Amino acid sequence: MSKEALNEAAAPAAAAGQSLFPTYARYPLALVKGEGSWLWDDKGNKYLDFMSGIAVTNLGHAPKQVKEALVKQLDELWHVSNLFQIPNQADAAKLITDNSCADAVFFCNSGAEANEAAIKLARRYNQKVLNNGRYEVITFQQSFHGRTLATLTATGQDKVKEGFAPLPEGFVTIPFNDLAALKATISERTAAVMLEMVQAEGGIHPVEASFIAGVAALCEEQGVLLIVDEIQTGIGRTGKLFAYEHFGIEPDIFTMAKGLGSGFPVGAMAAKEKLREGFTAGSHGSTFGGTPIATAAVKATLETIVGERLSERAAKQGQYLIAELREKLAGNDFVLDVRGLGLIVGIECAEPIADILNEAQERGLIALSAGPNVIRLLPNLLVTDEEIDQAVAILTELLAAKRQ
């Protein structure tokens, strides 16, 4: 299209996002307002949100406590360099260390950056503190760790790597839940093993308890760092503040983002005491990481989730959601499995489900996929029984139409 034609078409073109890179297959909906579990589009239609911005709005949309903290901070100070003390950042870090196995926290702005920090820390600790030159990071098939060059290399899915060669060296991907494969792969090069407790983007596959226990024991025995990616599973969603708590293990390093700021963009990497000296002044950093505003959101989010015991609520509501789905979908041969942990729930179907998500939107329910055949449900932690009943009713009806 010529520049003039583009300008003439400016208003509708802007709405259709003509000035954006086509990096997302976007739905036509333009959502303009959110409150709790509900969203409204620009035509005034109302939707029940079982996507939560992909596990971001764990407290629902526009939660009062976080909004008040942000408004207060907006009045006081927006940004200051990390060359100064940032009280909110120190408080937010303490909330993380007080409520986890970690002792030190680094703030950044996204999940990929949190995983980058974890990978860099694992390498630097081995190379500068232990002086053993180890660099390799072992990850798993179907995992997802982000879109930067290092984190897409760590990701165990080819589709995120296509066209981006050459990829950084030092990553090996092996089958998930396969301890023998891990035993065979760990070597004197191995710095770390990195994994999710529930592979979320990869199709809602929880880690097997015996496997993760074996991984933790093997890492300990071989002097390999264990990195847990809690970016989607963390901040109460699976029924614990962090999903590793379900399995009686303690990672050396874990990463957070998505739910950490209730929608304000923020990520963090947390690690055990021994790793503190892996990062010295000037070895890593971020202009925006942990600003007063971002960490006001983190503080209010964590205080609410810990203070109101919302992890326990997520466990209870997740059990109810899974039980209702299993009961209502029993006997439907289009549905192969219903599984999950807390409020990360997957419905595995016999065929691709993209059309079901479109139909669900038409019925007022927003959900997403996890791979082609799995419907992924990620309601907020405050979701009510009635809201779960509504979502289950819509999905049951749509899935009944697919019975073979």
Contact predicate 28/371, CB 8 Å: no
Q: Which stretch binds ligand PLP (CB under 6 A): 65-73, 196-204, 274-282, 345-353?
A: 196-204
Q: Which stretch binds ligand PLP (CB under 6 A): 174-182, 207-215, 225-233, 391-399?
A: 225-233
Burial 182-194 (b: 16+ CB within 10 A, else e): beebbeebbbbbb
Determine the Cα–Cα distance for residues 280 and 290; give it in Å rounded to an integer: 18
Choose between 34 and 146: whose C-beta lies nearer to ligand PLP.
Answer: 146
- The answer to whether the CB of 110 falls within 8 A of the CB of 102 is no
* Residue with smaller CB distance to ligand PLP, 238 or 398: 238
Cβ(122)–Cβ(192) below 8 Å: yes
For residue 185, what are its two tokens? 């792969």
Q: Considering only residues 191, 192, 216, 257, which one is a binding residue for ligand PLP as defined by CB under 6 A?
A: 257
Yes or no: say if 347 and 276 are a contact pair by the CB < 8 Å rule. no
Q: 381 to 400, contacts with ligand PLP by CB under 6 A?
A: none
Q: Which token pair is 123?
A: 């390498």
Q: Give ∠ CA 247-248-250 in degrees, rounded to 5.
A: 105
- Alpha-carbon distance 138 to 186, whole Å? 8
Least distance CB 247 / ligand PLP (angstroms) = 16
What phi, psi does 204 have (nearest 5°)? 60, 65
In the bound state, the residue with its beta carbon closest to ligand PLP is 111
Work out which of 49, 136, 196, 387 binds ligand PLP, going by CB under 6 A: 196
Query: What's the closest the beta carbon of residue 38 comes to ligand PLP, in angstroms?
Result: 23
CB 234 within 8 A of CB 269: no
Site for ligand PLP in 108-147 (CB under 6 A): 110-112, 115, 144-146
Give the residue, chosen from 200, 226, 366, 391, that forms a contact with ligand PLP under the rule CB under 6 A.
Answer: 200
Judged by CB under 6 A, the residue of 177, 232, 311, 380 near ligand PLP is 232
Best CA proximity match to 122, nearest among 110, 132, 107, 112: 132
Which part of the chain contacts ligand PLP (CB under 6 A), choosing from 45-53, 66-74, 226-234, 339-347?
226-234
- DSSP 8-class letter at 197: S
Closest distance between ligand PLP and the C-beta of residue 109, in Å?
8
**DSSP H helices in 155-273:** 179-185, 209-222
Shortest reach from residue 258's CB to ligand PLP, in Å: 6
Q: Candidates 211-219, 229-237, 268-276, 342-350 — which segment interacts with ligand PLP by CB under 6 A?
A: 229-237
Closest distance to ligand PLP from the beta carbon of 155 (Å) = 8
Q: Which is nearer to ligand PLP, 329 or 343 (CB)?
A: 343
Please calculate the CA angle 151-184-178 and round it to the nearest 5 degrees.
70
Peptide bond into 166 cis (omega under 30): yes
Region binding ligand PLP by CB under 6 A among candidate stretches 63-71, 195-203, 208-216, 327-335: 195-203
Distance CA 106, CA 119 (A): 13
Q: Of 116, 136, 229, 348, which one interacts with ligand PLP (CB under 6 A)?
A: 229
Residues 310-369 that bind ligand PLP (CB under 6 A): none
In the bound state with ligand PLP, the residue whose beta carbon lies nearer, of 112 and 322, is 112
Shortest reach from residue 113's CB to ligand PLP, in Å = 7
Amino acid at 261: G
What distance in Å separates the CA atoms of residue 17 and residue 3, rounded to the nearest whole number? Answer: 16
Site string for ligand PLP, 66-105 (x = CB under 6 A): ----------------------------------------
Q: How many CB atoms lie within 10 A of CB 216?
A: 20
Question: Smallest distance from the beta carbon of 267 to ligand PLP, in angstroms?
Answer: 6
Identify any residues that bridge with 281 across adjacent strands, giving them in sequence order. none
| Interaction site with ligand PLP (CB under 6 A) | 110-112, 115, 144-146, 196, 200-201, 229, 231-232, 257-258
